[in-house]
Chain A
């Protein structure tokens, strides 16, 4: 079990640029989640995949955000035309397909700074 892996760990970008983050979940986990965490706050749900299907999206996920999981394994989160308000830690988590109580396994996150 190598855990959930996220890349890059840190990303600094200028306002208006596009950024893409990658998440590799635990290999046998069917479910994959993206959360966003700002300083001093708990994580906020963004979106959820079961295999390759994106089943739930938060209202927080504006049109500038898009997430994919094309083969049901790794996932990417792209932010277009970044704004300073997008600065946050972006967390990926995965879990097994089972009951809704299956624990989420989080990665260490990608910290985005928009200047």
Chain B
């Protein structure tokens, strides 16, 4: 089935720093790609998604571009805030026949210091 490899953490940045969290995938075809975020004490929530190659997903200042040439979906933000401290998960469907079974990366813990 499909799989995703995510940049290991933890990542610690100062406020207003630039953020990149790497995510590469192995997949049959071109499945949708997702970034989920888990804030402390809360459930996972969808941050952004891209449904086809070259699409750019964006939300709350975060962006990720679906790049089939490099099989990547890196998460970026130009200026992080303390409130962005959370765990970030890259995800995609396990297989084309099981689009509802998402497989997740191991997560990257981000801490933003004031």
Which positions in A face B, CB cutoff 8 Å?
Answer: 3-4, 31, 33, 40-45, 48, 56, 58, 91, 93, 100-101, 103-109
A42/B94 in contact, CB under 8 A: no
Task: From the candidates A58, A100, A103, A105, name the one contacting B93 in the complex (CB within 8 A).
Answer: A100
* Residues of B contacting A48 in the complex (Cβ-Cβ under 8 angstroms): 100-101
Interface centre among A42, A44, A103 (most CB of B within 10 A): A42
Question: Count the B residues whose beta carbon is within 8 Å of the partner chain — how many?
Answer: 26
Question: What are 8 A-B contacts defined by CB distance under 8 Å?
Answer: A31-B100, A42-B107, A43-B104, A45-B102, A104-B46, A105-B43, A108-B41, A109-B43
Bound CA span A4–B42, Å: 11
Q: How far is the CB of B114 from chain A (nearest CB, A)?
A: 26
A40/B32 in contact, CB under 8 A: no
The 5 closest A-B pairs by CB, nearest first: A42-B104, A100-B99, A106-B43, A103-B46, A106-B44
